[in-house]
Chains A and B, each alone.
Chain A
């Protein structure tokens, strides 16, 4: 009796191991950020068909999603990503800088700064906009609750933060053009005001989730807060998934052009022998089919001419600035605002 039990257990174990064994088809792993789940689900299926149809054979694409900073960290710690499709260039920069898995000039390898689609930051409010939230300065009104993820772990949250900062700068200076030609004293005074403004917003934040999807769930599912600072695509998606009768989008007077970037992780892809597939996978994002899918999932395509006009018409017109104009690029912005001891720490830890 006892030995037959042992045999049963052992055979189960072997069975489990055998079942868990990988199949022989080539696999690529795409490590992405939070709100791209739905897009890549559809895009992967599309690309697998395309690859098969063009004679490449059957392939498998694996996905991993989470807050962009956390995901970058995981790749650095050894998550074997063949391609990364993260929320902002800086997260990929860090991987390149710390691990050497990809070259430092990765962003020049694909068109449009390696951003096949862009997005921006908008406000999601409850239906009818009961708090009458119209622009960034409404967020600091007494009693209002603002939901945003944690800029330390979430890419979207960093875009939120910088957009709010730039709004305050513009309010002080009247423009965001040619900031480097301004009198340093004037600029310094304006930045002080901007910091006070962003600090004021964070006083209204009751919870900081780690990723954009966590924040969306906090706002939408748990019903916490009056306004969610969200990726445009995430805002559209929640309205789509959870009913236009519950939420609406408010477009602020100015927002940031968010460029989620993609890159091959050269050394991983080479080690797995899937470099050609991984490269084609990223290039196909810029194809008419890839662009059409991006627009369908509420990302602003790099080549709008390939997308359905119907999808394009959904995007509201909004004044967008680039991070390079106002913050001198991601490296600098990260250092000033989000690294240890940056403005976010000074605001949040005080």
Chain B
């Protein structure tokens, strides 16, 4: 009885409910669904053949290859970093801990363009390490290593931010129990710590991967825009657009969107599995 009264008190009148529903749906339609439709309809406007040709063009293929390569390097590295950071900052309390957490957030809070410029100031001809690099004929910026570094920097926090609160919340009791039962450090990590954060870790990796493939600003600054060599997929889409090659630009964009959609689907599955209410 009492509960029913509370429920009724919390419920808005029917017209208001409908209005809010329509507003929300309209908003989602206008800002999320419509752009998605535009990307795909523009991409396939001149048929599947033109789409395929735009995707299989040598420059596009090289952009796809570079994007995948960058993700393949960046995601594992940031996963390892995220795990160690999560472990150190989540399971232990020490002086300077909150400062370190703030530091990890740095790439989130500064503009990607600045992130790119940082690497020019470090590794450019006139940067701190410029003269040494030039003397040893090492090319960092305006080539693949620079793109990897910039992406690494921008996607740095994703896994760590996911794991720190999770590991913090879980505490160290289970690990301590394992240790007292005679397990080694590595065994404890593999059998206890890792399974406990499995879903959070996966979620962080997915987000990290999505950003690594989609990053534009920082990569644009350090890329040098050399076709077939230092263009990632987002940069390639921009180039095509600037060359009045709209269908091809949207074809490349649709590929990126597909990647994003796959990421979202995987993320949803992870969330469903992660949800204790759905777990049997």
Contacts and interface: CB of A to CB of B under 8 A. Distances in A.
Contacts of A217: 241-242
A80 B142 CA distance: 8
B2 interface: no
B137 A20 contact: no
Contact of B227 (A38, A64, A66, A238): A64
B86 interface: no
A184 interface: no
Interface stretch (A8-16, A255-263, A288-296): A8-16
A29 B229 CA distance: 11
A9 B205 CA distance: 14
A241 B120 CA distance: 36
Contacts of B179: none
Given A77-B141, A99-B125, A64 B65 contact: no
Nearest to A2: B190
B228 A62 contact: yes
B139 interface: yes
A17 interface: yes
Contacts of A276: none
Given A78-B125, A80-B142, A217-B242, A65 B225 contact: yes
Contacts of A74: 142, 224
Contact of B139 (A80, A213, A241): A80
Contact of A64 (B66, B225, B244): B225
Given A12-B72, A78-B134, A63 B142 contact: no
Contacts, number: 68
A12 B68 CA distance: 10
Nearest to B243: A37
Secondary structure type dominating chain A contacts:
helix
A19 B69 CA distance: 9
A263 to B, nearest CB: 18
B225 A66 contact: yes
B72 A13 contact: yes
Nearest to B71: A16
Interface in A15-31: 16-17, 19-20, 29
A104 interface: no
In which size bucket is the chain A interface?
A: 20 to 34
B226 A77 contact: no
B130 A16 contact: no
A77 B125 contact: yes
B60 interface: no
A262 to B, nearest CB: 18
Contacts of B224: 64, 74, 79
Contacts of A250: none
B36 interface: no
A271 B135 CA distance: 12
B126 interface: yes
A76 interface: yes
A242 interface: yes
A17 B69 contact: yes
A224 to B, nearest CB: 16
B68 A16 contact: yes
A306 B144 CA distance: 41
A78 B124 contact: yes
14 contacts: A16-B69, A19-B69, A37-B242, A62-B228, A63-B226, A63-B227, A76-B125, A77-B142, A79-B224, A80-B139, A80-B142, A214-B242, A217-B241, A241-B244
Interface of B: 65-66, 68-69, 72-73, 76, 120, 123-127, 130, 134, 137, 139, 141-142, 144, 224-229, 239, 241-244
